[in-house]
Amino acid sequence: MLTIGQLACHAGVTVRAVRHYHHIGLLPEPERDHSGYRIYNAAAVVQLIRIRTLADAGVPLARVQELLNASPEEFAHDIQEIDKQLRAEIRRLQDNRKRIAKLAAGDHLALPQSVVDYLNRLRGLGVDERYIELERDSWIMVAAQAPQVVDSVIAKKHEDLNNPDILRLYHLVSEALDWPTDDPRVVEIADVVERLLIDAVEAGEVEVDTATNNADDPFVDLLDSAMAESTPAAKKVLAILEERGWKGWTRIERVPADRLNT
């Protein structure tokens, strides 16, 4: 007869494991001696070794009893099914490892590679890291809301970086994070933005007078508010542009002069 400690030692498990197997009904409770201690025999050792072997192989404890009671044919089939599940779990974990490795760079969190590459290009152009973080956060929201458009928009933004006005705007806006609202360079930002908007209108990229037929868009409002709240100078730029007949930031609308005061 064996004590629980001797049983655990012979089977290569801990006493705690033996007690757990008793608790979940995987290992039947043995008889007890006159002092109330469990006493085990060789059959218990064999059963415990079989349980340990299946558990060490990755078989869920909930299925161990099923396998112990299975016929050879049932056992082979069930093992194949468990192996299939384990292979799927391995693939999932490998994918998670790849994602974790990407997250080490920071920007990869919730962002596609195309956006990460674009943000890195901005860094290479000397854009302030604080502004890049603001743009990154906006792209996180865009990627979650409309992932299907991200790559095409990013491709267009790469083209836009060939425009000297775009480069000037990026540097001005990133510097503006520390400006007061009365800094004269705020007007320069508005001037650059307006030039770009006029070019966009002429190229057919910005619709004229769409303010009356565009429904409210909470997502667009959210992006606009994030930009406006980034710095006091941003609100001033938006105010100047509105005085000149330009509404919005994420989705800009040109309002003709005869509607500005209506």
Q: Where exactly are the structural domains of the chain?
A: 4-102, 107-259
Q: What percentage of residues in the chain have a pLDDT greater than 90?
A: 35
pLDDT one-digit tens code per residue, 18-49:
999 999 999 999 989 888 999 999 999 999 99
CA 150 to chain centre: 15
Using 50, 70 and 90 to split pLDDT, how confident is the model at 222? low
pLDDT of residue 77: 92
Backbone angles phi, psi at 208, to 5 degrees: -100, 135
**pLDDT tops 60 at residue 214:** no
What number of other Cβ atoms are within 10 A of residue 155's Cβ?
Answer: 12
According to the 3-state scheme, what is the secondary structure of the chain? CECHHHHHHHHCCCHHHHHHHHHCCCCCCCCECCCCCECECHHHHHHHHHHHHHHHCCCCHHHHHHHHCCCHHHHHHHHHHHHHHHHHHHHHHHHHHHHHHHHCCCCCCCCCHHHHHHHHHHHHCCCCHHHHHHHHHHHHHHHHHCHHHHHHHHHHHHHHCCCHHHHHHHHHHHHHHHCCCCCCHHHHHHHHHHHHHHHHHHCCCCCECCCCCCCCCHHHHHHHHHHHCCCHHHHHHHHHHHHCCEECCCCCEECCHHHCCC
261: amino acid identity, one letter: N
Does domain 4-102 match CATH 1.10.1660.10?
A: yes
pTM listed for this prediction: 0.54
pLDDT at 143: 87
